[in-house]
Amino acid sequence: MTIFDVPATSPSALQIVWLILVCVLWIGFFVLEGFDFGAGMLVPFLGKSDQTRRVVINSVGPHWDGNEVWLLTAGGAMFAAFSGWYASLFSGLYLPLFLVLVGLILRGVAFEYRSKNDSKTWRTTWDWLLAIGSFIPALVFGVGFANFLIGLPTKAGTNGFGNTIPLYGGGFWGLFTPFALIGGLLFVALFLTHGAFFVGLKTTDEVHDRAQKLGNTLGIVAMVLMLIFVLWGNLRLFMQPLPGHPGWLTAVGWIAGIVALLGVVFGWFMNSKNRDGWAFIGTGASILFLVVMFFTTFYPGLGFNNANTLDNPLDITTASSSPHTLTLMTIFACIMVPIVLLYTFWSYWVFRRRLNATNIPALAVTTAA
């Protein structure tokens, strides 16, 4: 017998706590890495010279690798707390997750290799690879979470031991529905806006002015996509509720979605009034409540539609690790999470000052590769 064969029961307090903690970790990743992705995509457009592009890169330089740790922590928490959930996602969605990995690798290599050569062609190439590497994960995550919102289909399967387990029941191209594509475009537009506001917050002079102006345009696009996505997603869940999903959480999803929309509107308005800090807080709050909207549908089906596997569903109880494991993880989390948060706040405080091109010495850049 495996965890998939355990009959569904009412979830324990620890299972609910760990679903909330996984939500918090994903919020941390998208809020922090969101402006990383946005700034990375904007490097070729905000920087008109090597110096100004380096200003954009340096604005996220001290933070980008630390922000990616939130993704590893979220994945690790899913693996340890809900191993059945982790196994089904990573086996059924292997190709999308591989695309995310490719994008993250391109980003990391671009950050490290861009300055290894003074050639203009070399640096421009890595700038565009940084933009592409930032675009791919943003798009894939948006498509993926949009599918989680409406519930991925499941089917009955067997593992290597002959046990019946629920598996992802769709194919790769089945993920790209019109609603999922709207989700992908929303993540790209929202991260671009979040990134533009962060660059505006962290820079002065021409880079700041360019980021602020572009943020006004991107904010409008993000608002329109957010409005479409929130209405479409919540109306679909209202008309086609997922098995076992409580109605009160549907109401919470509506509230979270509306607040997410208001966050973008607030950020855009503050940016138009030259209030860089409040603009960044607005898009950060928008991302936070958007993730909350997603996770309201994760109870109890964890982003899966179990209509075809009701006798053996994949949910918060059947996919959970043992109570002993959850207890040990809770103790460990109570110790480590405050340390991680303190270090994160400290690092942002240390690198809080604004940047501009005068802080960066000009290099002799050749035109040959």
Distance CA 222, CA 199 (A): 17
What domains, with CATH codes, occur in the chain? 11-359 (1.20.1630.10)
The neighbouring-strand residues paired with 156 are: 166
Q: pLDDT tens string for the chain (369 positions)?
A: 344 444 446 788 999 999 999 999 999 999 999 999 999 999 999 888 888 888 999 888 888 888 888 998 898 889 889 888 888 887 778 888 899 999 999 999 998 888 888 888 899 999 999 999 999 999 999 999 999 898 888 776 655 444 556 667 677 788 889 999 999 999 999 999 999 999 999 998 888 999 999 999 999 999 999 999 999 999 988 888 887 788 888 899 999 999 999 999 999 999 999 999 999 999 999 999 999 999 998 888 888 887 666 667 778 888 888 899 899 999 988 888 888 888 888 888 888 888 777 767 666 544 433
- CA-CA-CA-CA torsion sign (221, 227, 229, 232): negative
pLDDT at 310: 60
H or E stretch at 154: strand 152-158
Starting at the edge strand found earlier in the chain, the sheet holding 304-305 runs 164-168, 152-158, 304-305
- Spell out the SS3 assignment of 107-139: HHHHHHHHHHCCEHHHHHHHHHHHHHHHHHHHH
Q: What per-residue confidence (pLDDT) applies to 2?
A: 41
**Residue 326 to residues 5, 329, 357: CA-CA distances in angstroms?**
19, 5, 50
In angstroms, the CA 165 to CA 156 distance is 6
Q: What is the CA radius of gyration of the chain?
A: 21
Cα gap 75→212, rounded to integer Å: 34
Q: What is the pLDDT of residue 167?
A: 67
- Comparing C-alpha atoms, which of 33, 31, 180 is closest to residue 108? 33
Question: pTM for the complete prediction?
Answer: 0.89
User: Which of 37, 27, 21 minimizes the C-alpha distance to 184?
Assistant: 37
pLDDT of residue 156: 67
- pLDDT of 28: 92
pLDDT at 125: 93
Pairwise CA distance, residues 288 & 260, whole Å: 7
Query: 164-168 and 152-158: which strand pairing?
Result: antiparallel
